[in-house]
Chains A and B, each alone.
Chain A
Amino acid sequence: GENVEQHPSTLSVQEGDSAVIKCTYSDSASNYFPWYKQELGKGPQLIIDIRSNVGEKKDQRIAVTLNKTAKHFSLHITETQPEDSAVYFCAASGGQRRSYDKVIFGPGTSLSVIP
């Protein structure tokens, strides 16, 4: 089955700097890669996603890149702000008949943005 690894497990950056979180996946059939942000006391919130036919996607300060050959994808947050502090989860799906049947999550990255 699919296995998703995520690094680093914790990340501290100064406000205004960039943050990068990297994930790798094992199932070459996976074709959908969402990223979730979980703030303390809340459920995970989808922040951006990418499909396997796209190499990069941007949404304001957030971007995701995908390298299908190497089976890794990354989240980039630019101009970080204190409200970006949260746990971020990458995930992979699509190896099954329907993409959302088996969404496999990485272990998470705790991001702290220092004012």
Chain B
Amino acid sequence: SAVISQKPSRDICQRGTSLTIQCQVDSQVTMMFWYRQQPGQSLTLIATANQGSEATYESGFVIDKFPISRPNLTFSTLTVSNMSPEDSSIYLCSVPGQSGNTIYFGEGSWLTVV
């Protein structure tokens, strides 16, 4: 499986600020996915990051709140904008495996908004 690195691993953020999370993969992948995991909850897909085109957002998530960049086939960023305490979550980057079915996750970025 691919090695997926996320930065930052943890951060404490002030209400109203924005934070950009980076995801670096050690191999080229067609798609990258961003998930949110709220405290004690399951994983919810935020959006699919496509190289060379706009990200595809899931219901309930909008580009103004979660802008995404995908400048090349190994890197993506997710920005959490104008944060509130409700945005305190783990944000996870994932990529598909070579088999085409499986997805693999990074270690996550743990954000606490105060």
Q: Map CB proximity to B onto A88-115 as digits: 1 under 8 Å, 0 otherwise.
A: 0100011000111111011110000000
- Contact partners of A41 in chain B: CB under 8 A: 110
**Given A43-B92, A49-B101, A49-B102, A103 contacting B107 (CB threshold 8 A):** no
User: Distance in Å from the Cβ of B7 to the closest Cβ of chain A?
Assistant: 13
Which of A94, A103, A107 touches B103 (beta carbons < 8 Å)? Answer: A103
User: Distance in Å from the Cβ of A12 to the closest Cβ of chain B?
Assistant: 17
- Contact partners of B103 in chain A: CB under 8 A: 34, 46, 100, 103
Given the complex of chains A and B, what is the CA–CA distance between A108 and B44 in angstroms?
A: 12
- Contact partners of A100 in chain B: CB under 8 A: 31, 33, 96, 100-103
| Smallest CB gap from B104: residue in A | A46
Cβ-based interface call for A45 (8 A): yes
* Interface residues contributed by chain B, number (CB under 8 Å): 23
Q: Are A51 and B101 in contact (CB under 8 A)?
A: yes
CB contacts between A and B, total, < 8 Å: 53
Cβ-based interface call for A42 (8 A): yes
* Interface residues contributed by chain A, number (CB under 8 Å): 24
Q: Are A103 and B45 in contact (CB under 8 A)?
A: yes
Q: Which of B55-105 contact A (CB under 8 A)?
A: 90, 92, 96, 100-105
Q: Are B100 and A44 in contact (CB under 8 A)?
A: no
Given the complex of chains A and B, what is the CA–CA distance between A5 and B90 in angstroms?
A: 21
- Contact partners of A102 in chain B: CB under 8 A: 45
Given the complex of chains A and B, what is the CA–CA distance between A21 and B102 in angstroms?
A: 20
Given the complex of chains A and B, what is the CA–CA distance between A99 and B100 in angstroms?
A: 7
Given the complex of chains A and B, what is the CA–CA distance between A104 and B35 in angstroms?
A: 11
Interface of B toward A, CB cutoff 8 Å: 1, 4, 31, 33, 41-45, 48, 90, 92, 96, 100-108, 110
